[in-house]
């Protein structure tokens, strides 16, 4: 995306704040949308909190797979809390202004938690690969120490990279329209407001997207190609069905999360549409976190049994 050359400093008006348009084009639906997204936010918090608690409390769920699911549920709470509260405030107060610092902070936290989720989903695929392809070595390979190291490594890699990435985006000068046609500070609409040539910034966006989205996605596909080949060789239909059931939930989450992220950040610039970007952002930032607990709980017998125990108590 090449913009005209940066104007002289004397004529440059640096923006101190942005305006998040979110759903400003639907004034009649503001309170309906406020109520809808408030309910969605409560559902996300309660469902992920419930999964996190039952995994921590139930002795039957103390395995590597559920350790990673608990971590993922915690990340989902953090991820959606980086964007939804601000959108609810904008809908409730009709004040859509956000300072550059607040915008950068929101983007930073959203991408930290989103990036860590991508890495953690790849780790979860590796866990399923070891469990199905090397079941005899599973307790040794996926020991408690290894699980903690893998989860900690995801955080250790994600935090500094996303902080640096956010700093690089907001080191640009913004002298154009201050209106962000989105409901949170996402990269594509922010770059459209920058002055000068943003080619280097866009290349860095692609690089980070490849490292945190495409590489984990390819690793997951590689793991599942091996898993499927092993499952198809199992002698009984019951064994094949049980093996498939342990993987389908994770695979559904992967398709939902990575699909929208790949379309958003790895599309050619010429195909970027503001309305499409807004819909995709809404999908991977709100709808996917709402669906994930349902996928994990309703398709998992162990989680359902643990939930029943908790409700009885």
Mind spelling out the 3-state secondary structure of the chain? CECCCCCCHHHCCCCCEEEECCCCCCHHHHHHHHHHHHHHHHHHHHHHHHHHHHHHHCHHHCCHHHHHHHHHHHHHHHHHHCCHHHHHHHHHHCCCEEEHHHHHHHHHHHHHHHHHHHHHHHHHHHHHHHHHHCHHHHHHHCCHHHHHHHHHHHHHHHHHHHHHHHHHHHCCCECCCCEECCCCCCHHHHHCCECCECHHHHHHHHHHHHHHHHHHHHHHHHHHHHHHHHHCCCCCHHHHHHHHHHHHHHHHHHHHHHHHHHHHHCCCHHHCCHHHHHHHHHHHHHHHHHHHHHHHHHCCHHHHHHHHHHHHC
Mean pLDDT of the chain: 83
What would the pLDDT profile of 128-150 be if each residue is shown by its tens digit? 889 888 888 899 999 999 999 99
Confidence of residue 1 (pLDDT cuts 50, 70, 90): very low
pLDDT value, residue 265: 79
pLDDT value, residue 104: 93
Least confident of 67-76, 252-261, 266-275: 266-275
| Residue 280 predicted with pLDDT over 70 | yes
| Residue 57 predicted with pLDDT over 90 | no
What would the pLDDT profile of 83-119 be if each residue is shown by its tens digit? 999 999 988 888 888 999 999 999 999 999 999 999 9
Query: What domains, with CATH codes, occur in the chain?
Result: 14-312 (1.20.1070.10)
Q: Structure pTM? A: 0.86
């Amino acid at each position: 995306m090449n913009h005209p050359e940066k104007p002289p400093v004397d004529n440059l008006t640096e923006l101190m704040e942005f305006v998040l348009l979110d759903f400003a084009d639907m004034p009649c639906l503001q309170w309906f949308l406020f109520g809808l997204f408030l309910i969605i936010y409560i559902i996300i918090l309660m469902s992920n909190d419930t999964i996190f608690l039952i995994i921590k409390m139930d002795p039957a769920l103390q395995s590597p797979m559920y350790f990673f699911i608990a971590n993922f549920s915690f990340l989902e709470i953090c991820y959606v809390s980086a964007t939804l509260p601000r959108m609810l405030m904008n809908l409730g107060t009709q004040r859509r202004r956000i300072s550059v610092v607040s915008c950068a902070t929101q983007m930073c936290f959203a991408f930290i938690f989103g990036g860590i989720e991508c890495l953690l989903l790849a780790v979860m695929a590796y866990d399923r690969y070891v469990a199905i392809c090397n079941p005899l070595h599973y307790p040794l390979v996926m020991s408690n120490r290894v699980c903690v190291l893998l989860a900690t490594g995801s955080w250790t890699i994600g935090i500094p990279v996303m902080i640096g990435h956010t700093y690089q985006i907001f080191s640009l000068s913004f002298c154009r329209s201050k209106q962000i046609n989105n409901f949170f500070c996402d990269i594509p609409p922010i770059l459209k407001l920058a002055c000068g040539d943003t080619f280097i910034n866009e290349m860095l966006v692609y690089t980070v997207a490849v490292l945190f989205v495409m590489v984990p996605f390819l690793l997951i596909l590689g793991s599942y190609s091996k898993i499927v080949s092993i499952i198809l060789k199992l002698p009984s239909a019951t064994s094949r069905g049980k093996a498939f059931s342990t993987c389908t939930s994770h695979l559904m989450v992967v398709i939902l999360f990575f699909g929208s992220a790949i379309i958003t950040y790895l599309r050619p610039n010429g195909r970027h549409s503001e309305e499409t970007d807004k819909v995709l952002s809404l999908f991977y930032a709100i709808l996917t976190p709402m669906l994930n607990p349902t996928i994990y709980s309703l398709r998992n017998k162990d989680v359902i049994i643990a939930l029943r125990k908790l409700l009885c108590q």
